[in-house]
Structure 1
Amino acid sequence: MARMSRTRGRAASAVCVTAALALLVPACSSDDDGGGDGDGKGKRGGKAGRGDRGTAALSAREISDRAKRALLGAKSVHIKVEDRSTDAEKDDPAHMDLALDRDGNCAGTIGFARGGGRAELVKRGEKVWLKPDDAFWRSQLPRGRGAAAAELFEGRYLHGSTRDEMLRGLSEICDLKELRSGVDDDPEESKGLRKGGGTTVAGTRVIPLTATEDGTDKALYVASEGKPYPIRATEKDGDSDQTTTFSDYDEPVPVRTPAAKESVDIAKLQERLRQP
């Protein structure tokens, strides 16, 4: 189970970074840095990024640049991920609904593909609480052990810390710094960027940026009013179909943690797993 949880944490992080940040270009890139912006005008120099023009009037490259700046400046964000990929396995995150911040705090839920179940996750500092459902237990612990664990820990959180291997992997997704660090991973992905007409996504007026790379269609929807925050990102190809939605920028992560009577020390689970 410890190994599986670490894999799940890394996979969940990858979903967010890959789908959401693939169209963000390096900030402060040079005016002659190429990278089509689909409106035939190239990157405007000089006053770009000084707030003297509305987002809709900017080139695709400038909008992407500003969206990156806005994301890097955020103290917290609420992320929802829907992964409808046909090649997903039960250990892959299919749904995420998490509020997270720079300090590594988070609260929300994670659901897994192909009957892998779901779990509530709370993290404050180094303390972690995880409440899996019955399907999660059964997918993790075969031959009746999952059913026994589900009955033993029903309705309660496993409580431990980031030092516990069983909790470390899932809790890795809680750090906004890790998500933000993926922005610069591959600036070449910004080539062929196109700007679309204004539309509305999740109740927010946005400008869509689109690109196709190796048969994968990517789109990033950036707020056209106020700060140019990324609002939604999609990535689709023959097998993959991922949507990531961002909201509640700079809003505090919920501070409530489960009460002691709602929690079980993870050492009890570890003891249970050692039993024949």
Structure 2
Amino acid sequence: MNLDNPPFSRFTHDGLELAFFDEGDPSGYPVLLIHGFASSANVNWVFPGWLKTLGDAGYRVIAIDNRGHGASDKPHDPALYTPPLMAGDAAALLDHLGISEAHVFGYSMGARLTAFLALAHPDRVRSVVFGGLGIGMVEGVGDWDPIADALLAPSLDVVTHERGRMFRAFADQTKSDRQALAACIMTSRDLLTVEDMARIDMPALIGVGTKDDIAGAPEPLAALMPDARALDIPGRDHMLAVGDKVFKRAVLDFYAEIGGR
């Protein structure tokens, strides 16, 4: 196992080459990780220690670089970044690996994609963890059009929108394809309805930092779902909640409680 610097493989779906890693215990129950906007499998899951945490606990840990991100292909057409298409990439990765069912754990945009995956393929999803996205899944998370503008601006110096500056700086730090990210943010924000959330009936954990001003609270989202529990991650904002030890312990306890079928 290489839990600190995993090798990536590639597969093709929907005309795109997509990168992923498949680490941990190959005989362990699979956990599929779906990262957030402007992030990558490494930035979201390896660097904050999730791969090591889950791998050391005996899980098979799989993470995809979403289209437009990481080492995956980066088309510039916004029509290619709708949540059903991006969730379809994750389902195709399970097919590629011959995995019939997995725990699915998404952060921020990845949480939304996890919800779309659970709705489209409920038989493939043993449980869901939504990190960094609470009732914003249904009610929205504010105006993100300035994010696209910030990504396409000639430099960070001319960006005045606070959230735009945060994501532009993050994209610059990760050396991302900013045009692909701008295309993604234009069309990847479809909301789920109250009725949609009620249909996601597998066990669910929703973890949001108490200082997260993007996600919306986890408790109202959990209340819409048949088998969901909410977790407040103390003192963490949207960027820092992902690697928090309270979150990690809660996820491990959640998986231990529900097990794999």
Answer whether TM exceeds 0.5 for this pair: no
TM-score, reference length from structure 1: 0.25
Greater fraction strand: 1
Structure ID, larger Rg: 1
Higher relative contact order (CA 8 A, sep 6+): 1
Q: TM-score, normalised by structure 2?
A: 0.26
